[in-house]
Amino acid sequence: MRAPTADPAASRSRITSPAPSRGRTVALWCAAGVGIFALALAATRFTVPGLPLAVWWPAAGLSAVLALRAPARHRPLAILVIFAANALGMLAGGRAVASTLVLAAADSIEIVVLCVLVLHRRRSAVLRTTADSVRFAVSAAVAAVAYGLMAGVIGIVSAGASPVPIVLITAASHFSAIMLIAPLALLAVRDRPVSRGADPPRRTGTPPRGAFPRRTELTVQIVAALLAVVAGFGPLLPLPLAFLIFLPLIWAALRFPPLVAHIEALAIAVLLVAFSTRGFGAFTTAGLEGTDLGITLTLFLSAIAIFTVTTVTEHNEALALGRVALEAAEQRAEAARATTSTLQVRYDLERQREAFLSTTSHELRTPVTIISGYADLLGERDLPDDAAGWVDAIRRNTDRLAAMLDDLLAARSTHEPQPVSVAAAALAASVVTAYAAASAVRGVTVTVDVAHVALHADRADAERALRHLVSNAVKFVATGGRVEVTAEQSGDDVLITIADDGPGLPESELDQAFDPFFRGARAEADALPGTGIGLTIARMLARRNGGDVRIESTAGRGTRAILRLPSAHTAAELAPEQPVDTTADAAAVTASITEPGGEAR
């Protein structure tokens, strides 16, 4: 019974290749076995005069492909197929039965060594990077040397031949065959995942421009490669021009897809072997024959194989890194565009909000002024007791609304401060006295203990900033609580501290205390009056006078607001003729507050 799919949409969003049928798998394995047999049979003909060994063994390359691409559970079967195909090919080529079985076993051991080295701690042998190609080349070299050593021992035992030429020729022969043939399958693997929601890759139609080389260039390149082979190894030019082979290989590796470059290198190798075994070409022209020719040819094929594999993978890795860098740059550019767009929207919203608040504040001042005026007129009349209370409520709330509008306008004011020397005690007394006029229903006590110090700031700015801080302290302190206002000299500044024994601010809200229109959770829960810009305005007024405001608070242990303004002593050094305003200088003032106004913290 078929199990239901956990996420059908996810299954449809990715491309999965159907598992090959059993018949197709059997056909592929049979084709690989037949190919190895045919290549082994053909290799028995790749000999040079005076050398009974095959100078090239392409069956090793196809054997490597079969073993490396086979699933791990089927790899022992692949090794068995490799043994049988190589043995049958050598028997068909006329090799003795005993030596054939031993050499076929050596072929199988070579492939086992290659698989162990290449697939150590890896799931596949796909060649993607330069590191992959170096790992593959080293593994192939170790496996080929192992085969060469086994072939050398067999040569000593069976014929008493010198082992060095046998080891060199057979090792280089197998190494070059593996390096030239195996990458054709390892580079052809397409395992790039398709992201969710992406369009499936196109299988038909014209490829996108720039994805493949132009046919004209490819044709010219192939012709150039053939001319280089003919010039270096053909019968027409008896000159040592073997180096010309690398010119078209460089062209192919840097300009064409990996498979094209590897197929061309393999074709060149086949032509070199064909020409050299026929007795002409750059090596025979140099007078090489027999063992010397075999060693030179196999080493030259190995050089071609190493050059092609490393150059192609390095170039592809560079292209891949370039694509990654380009995609990252495009993502950064897109993020920058999105950020710019967001900032533009934020700027527009801020501008609209500023315009709205400014217009609203100005428009509301007229009716508030009219209401306040008529309330004053009514207050001058002889009214019943209850009506007099109503008028007082109108006047009190009108004043409160007017103060809120003043704060909104002050937050946007471009007024240049006019600093004067102000006694800190006088400033504190005038602010606290405004709250002392209210009734003492809540029993909040505000005390002032100010040293004989003077500050240098705009009188209106300093008073408004201090009023907001005192208002906040009184508003949030519990019934019967205490608020203490102190001032002291600190270097070139005067520090006015407003401390209360209220509930304090949690650390999460302390970081946002100066944000415009921010109101804490307690202010919202208790429905305390205010707009949430008191601290914002206080800091703005202090900073434009060369000072600042900071808040120190611990939840459950009260809050300290510290207003810092320049000291009049420093200013007096610059302008000694300026008098100190000591109006209403008081050392201590105590007041009971019942219904404070002002802004929310």
What's the rounded Cα separation, in Å, for the pair 34 and 579?
111
Whether pLDDT at 83 is above 90: yes
Which of the listed ranges 135-149, 303-317, 433-447, 463-477 does the model predict with the highest average pLDDT?
Answer: 135-149
Q: What percent of the chain has pLDDT over 70?
A: 76
Compute the average pLDDT of residues 204-228.
Answer: 69
Query: Token digits for 210?
Result: 């720039």
Q: What percent of the chain has pLDDT over 90?
A: 12
Residue at 510: amino acid letter = L
Helix (H) or strand (E) holding 485: strand 482-490
Residue 566 is predicted with a pLDDT of 92
Please compute the mean of the pLDDT values over residues 230-235 and round it to a whole number: 74
pLDDT tens digit sequence for 273-314? 888 777 776 676 666 777 777 888 888 888 888 888 888 888
| 69 or 525: which leads in pLDDT | 69
How far apart are alpha carbons 507 and 505 in whole angstroms?
6
pLDDT bracket for residue 105 (50, 70, 90): very high
> Rounded to an integer, what distance in angstroms lies between the CA atom of residue 463 and that of residue 428?
8
Torsion of CA 455, 459, 461, 466, to 10 degrees: 60
All structural domains of the chain: 417-593 (3.30.565.10)
Those residues whose C-beta lies under 8 Å from the C-beta of residue 301, and which sit 6 or more positions away, are 56, 172, 173, 176, 180, 269, 272, 273
Residue-averaged pLDDT of the chain: 77
Query: From the centroid of its chain, how far is CA 534?
Result: 41
Sequence-distant (≥ 6) Cβ neighbours of residue 191 within 8 angstroms = 124, 126
Is residue 598 very low, low, confident or very high in pLDDT (cuts 50, 70, 90)?
A: very low
Of the listed ranges 29-43, 191-205, 562-576, the least confidently predicted one is 191-205
Whether 585 shows a pLDDT value over 80: the answer reads no
Tokens 């002050």 sit on residue: 410
Contacts of 228-231 with CB under 8 Å at 24 or more apart are 229/268, 229/271, 229/272, 229/275
Q: Which of 103, 114, 18 is nearest to 52 (CA)?
A: 103
DSSP string of 170-184, one letter each residue:
HHHHHHHHHHHHHHH
CA distance to 184, 224, 407, 458, 563, per residue, from 538 (Å): 75, 82, 10, 13, 8
Residue type present at position 300: F
Chain segment 50-71, per-residue pLDDT in tens: 667 788 889 999 999 999 988 8
Residue 152's pLDDT band (cuts 50, 70, 90): confident
Task: Give the DSSP letter string of 565-591.
Answer: EEBHHHHHHH-TTSPEE-TT--S--EE
Q: How confident is the model at residue 3 (pLDDT cuts 50, 70, 90)?
A: very low
- Mean pLDDT over 373-393 rounds to 79
Question: 153 vs 160, which has greater pLDDT?
Answer: 153
Is the pLDDT at 232 greater than 70? The verdict is: yes
pTM of the predicted protein model: 0.53
pLDDT tens figures, 461-491: 888 888 888 887 887 777 777 888 899 888 8
**Average pLDDT, stretch 192-213?**
42
Selection from 179, 118, 109, 113 nearest residue 151 by Cα:
109
| Closest to 530 (Cα-Cα) out of 402, 361, 393, 404 | 404
Q: Is the separation of the CB atoms in 528 and 543 below 8 Å?
A: no
Please say if the pLDDT value at position 29 is more than 50. yes
pLDDT at 438 exceeding the cut of 90: no
